[in-house]
Chains A and B, each alone.
Chain A
Amino acid sequence: MKNKHIVIKHIGNFNSEIIDSILLSIKNLLVKDNYPLIIRKRVYNISVECLDNILKHSDIHTVSKKLYDDNPSSFILEKDDTAFYVKIGNIILNENIKNVDNKLKKINSLNLDGINELYKNSLQNGEISKKGGAGLGLIVMSKTTKEKILYSFDEINNKFSYFVMNLKIRIDN
């Protein structure tokens, strides 16, 4: 964990313009710092999937301003000598926790071959949801990072919780 520092941090409102601007900043920083192509693409890829996740899957439509202000959506990209870290957070309906938890438990229980099989099966059998997600985002995160996905749900009240997910992209493998 030497020299861990924040590369980009955005907390608050997310829309497609803000996401485009975050992604452009990430792209430029990675090119400027001369990272190998594969690292640049992995960090970009994970950032896109994470930002898409915040935009499409945050359960914030019925949330009061006060509750959102106390628990805003967040995207943080950090790095140290060995890896980049993407940490996202957003509000989730308690009734949706089980579904997300089951998906992540399944993904984290698989080895790389298992993840690749799940990816191929989901491509062939997954339907595109109304929000434009194919249920593939979490699988792609695991496939790209080749690491377990760390996550938690912290209860806010009897209706909502705050979902946090941590991804690690190794620089040294």
Chain B
Amino acid sequence: MKILNIEATLKSPKVIFDTENFIFEMQGNSRPENVRNFYYPILDALKRFYESALENNKLEQFSSKIFKYNFKLEYFNSSSAKFISDIILLIDNYNKKGFNNKIYWYFEDGDEDMIEVGEDFSEMINVPFNFIMIKK
């Protein structure tokens, strides 16, 4: 089931949160007009999903399968970075409770700054990311 299915705009990324196929994905650019209005519902949806799984004793079902978090961002501004880091902290928080979330960080060939910020996020939670290069 797609809990989130947000279309991309020029200023905001496409976001999919598909709990049936165990995929969360963000793709595109992020400098939304109102950064809180864009990111709060995403953080809320993620939190609701994990809390509901915990309440309904579904942890075993979810811990046996990898939940993929794909970050395929071309560009994000500094206020978006704050919220992307909040998503990553949330993912890590639920991994500590037994979930099996893995982060895949995509970057374009030659975009060393995107790798660096991925490394910063990874160091922040002390968990390695899977870095994937996109060739153009």
User: Interface on A for B, CB 8 Å cutoff?
Assistant: 16, 20, 36-38, 41-42, 44-45, 48-49, 52, 116, 119-120, 123-124, 126, 128, 132-134, 136-137, 139-140, 144
Contact = CB atoms under 8 A, between A and B. Distances in A.
B111 interface: yes
Nearest to B110: A37
Contacts of A139: 78
Nearest to A139: B78
Nearest to B114: A41
Contacts, number: 70
Q: What does DSSP make chain A's interface, helix, strand, loop or mixed?
A: helix
A4 B27 CA distance: 37
A149 to B, nearest CB: 14
A132 B35 contact: yes
B20 interface: no
B36 A128 contact: yes
B92 to A, nearest CB: 11
Interface in B88-109: 89, 108-109
The 6 closest A-B pairs by CB, nearest first: A136-B78, A134-B82, A123-B85, A37-B110, A140-B78, A137-B78
Contact of A116 (B34, B35, B36, B120): B120
Contacts of A52: 31, 77-79
B33 to A, nearest CB: 6
B124 interface: yes
Contact of B33 (A16, A38, A44, A119): A16
A41 B123 contact: no
